[in-house]
Amino acid sequence: MQKDVITYLSTFVSFQSVHGNEAEKKRCLDWIVETFLSDSEHVIHTGNCENSPYVYLHHPEAELCWFAHTDVVPGTEDQFTVQIEGEKAFGRGVKDMKGAALSFLLAYKHTLEKGEKPKVSVLLTSDEETAGRSIPQLISEGLLHAPVAFTPDTSSHPGIVVEHKGVVWADLTVGGKGGHGAMPWECENPLWKLGEVLQLLREKFPPGTYDDWQITVTPTTLNGSSAKNQVPDTARCGLDIRYPASLCSNASEAIAIVSSVLPEGCELKEIISASPLQTDSDHEMVRRVQSIAQQVEGRNVELIREHGGTDARYFSEVGIPAFLYGPVGGDLHGKNEWVSIPSLLQQYEINMKLLQSLL
């Protein structure tokens, strides 16, 4: 089994399914359909949302929608070739999330080959890394529906994720008076003020630690003058704001909380936002996956929350419970992204048992 996993993973990772490469995304999805889904008797819908193809295998009596994304962030050419070192596989997407998806796809393939027909729908998108709209589009069209949704798209902390923070990407603009860099006394340089405002935000919304569950405000981009000797009239900074649902019910409330500490002359404008994820930890399907995982892994698998966000939020927004559980790995989006091969094999066993429970 380990040899098969590595072989399939190597092919999966070789597709450079990055933003802007629609043809490669489609090639990747075509390979998945042919390799893992072709034995299904159910209709396979294919389509495209804003240059990002998707595949949806629809079971009319589905008790679960399993979903994953096949797009990855950019990487160097060598990262699209899997490297094996001991019990780890390295490469772009081995953890986020081609390796994570492979364990289910392989289990689904083997279940179908036994002539069994699990009551599960399968959705594969290619725009998660760019906050794409495939899932909302399919939901709004009435094509995508299920009583509960499950994805293995998790970070490096091993646990079943039932809660995510909401996110707001916003632009902070600080006003001033521009002029020539040689005569700063004639200017009101907004960059100095921006520095003071950022320090204030750091004090009011400290970074904290992984275990803290609070609002965080992280500067990400800076914009001022386009000339070395010109003082700008305004300075802008991009902010990544994360908020727990227990403190804010929506993005507007989070913007209001952050804006309340800003001094006069500052404007905070939302650019894009995503809602938080909250799923009942006692949901039957959550507990079922937890029980199976504990049986396979021989340990206590905790229900946890994560600071990041995924496409799971789109299901939560329309009242469909969603949760996450994936393999062990690390350095997501980094140059040394890795996944544990033994963990992939355990995930395969978990998915086999889960599919058996859905017959």
Helix 98-113 / helix 2-14 crossing angle, nearest 10 deg: 120
Those residues whose C-beta lies under 8 Å from the C-beta of residue 171, and which sit 6 or more positions away, are: 236, 237, 238, 239, 268, 269, 271
Is the model's pLDDT at 203 over the cut of 80? Answer: yes
Which pLDDT belongs to residue 154?
Answer: 81
Q: pLDDT category, 310, cuts 50, 70, 90?
A: confident
Q: What is the CA radius of gyration of the chain?
A: 23
Give strand pairing partners of 56. Answer: 45, 123
Q: Which two tokens stand for residue 265?
A: 């002359």
8-state DSSP, 298: S
8-state DSSP, 71: -
Which pLDDT belongs to residue 45?
Answer: 96
Which pLDDT belongs to residue 224?
Answer: 92
8-state DSSP, 263: P
For 141, the 3-state DSSP assignment is coil
pLDDT digits (tens, 9 = 90+) for 98-156: 999 999 999 999 999 999 999 999 999 999 998 889 999 999 999 998 999 999 998 76
Which pLDDT belongs to residue 309?
Answer: 81
Q: pLDDT category, 355, cuts 50, 70, 90?
A: very high
Domains of the chain, first to last = 2-164+277-356 (3.40.630.10), 166-274 (3.30.70.360)
Tell me the pairing of strands 277-278 and 160-164. antiparallel
Question: Average model confidence (pLDDT) for the chain?
Answer: 95
The label of the residue with tokens 């509960």 reads: 148
* C-alpha neighbours within 13 Å on the C-beta side of residue 295: 12
DSSP secondary structure of 172-226: EEEE-B-EETT-GGG-B-HHHHHHHHHHHHHHHS----TT--S-EEEEEEEE--S
For 34, the 3-state DSSP assignment is helix
Q: pLDDT category, 307, cuts 50, 70, 90?
A: confident
The label of the residue with tokens 């996110």 reads: 167
- Percent of the chain beyond pLDDT 70? 100
pLDDT digits (tens, 9 = 90+) for 271-288: 989 889 999 999 999 999
Q: Rounded distance, CA 143 to CA 132, Å?
A: 17
Which pLDDT belongs to residue 308?
Answer: 82
Give strand pairing partners of 149. Answer: 65, 322
Mean pLDDT value of segment 71-92:
97
Nearest to 33 by CA among 70, 1, 64: 70
Is the model's pLDDT at 331 over the cut of 90? Answer: yes
Q: Which two tokens stand for residue 344?
A: 């992939």
The label of the residue with tokens 């909302």 reads: 136
Q: Rounded distance, CA 35 to CA 40, Å?
A: 11
Mean pLDDT value of segment 51-66:
97
- Percent of the chain beyond pLDDT 90? 91
Q: Which two tokens stand for residue 240?
A: 């990544």
Which pLDDT belongs to residue 241?
Answer: 96
172: left (phi over 0), alpha (psi -120 to 50) or beta: beta
Which pLDDT belongs to residue 227?
Answer: 93
- Name residue 307's amino acid: H
Which pLDDT belongs to residue 125?
Answer: 97
Q: Which two tokens stand for residue 291?
A: 């029980």
- Name residue 65's amino acid: C
Q: Rounded distance, CA 315 to CA 322, Å?
A: 6
Q: pLDDT category, 213, cuts 50, 70, 90?
A: very high
Helix 341-356 / helix 2-14 crossing angle, nearest 10 deg: 100
Q: Which two tokens stand for residue 9?
A: 């993973």
Contact between residue 150 and residue 65 where contact means Cβ atoms under 8 Å apart: yes
Q: pLDDT category, 321, cuts 50, 70, 90?
A: very high
8-state DSSP, 80: G
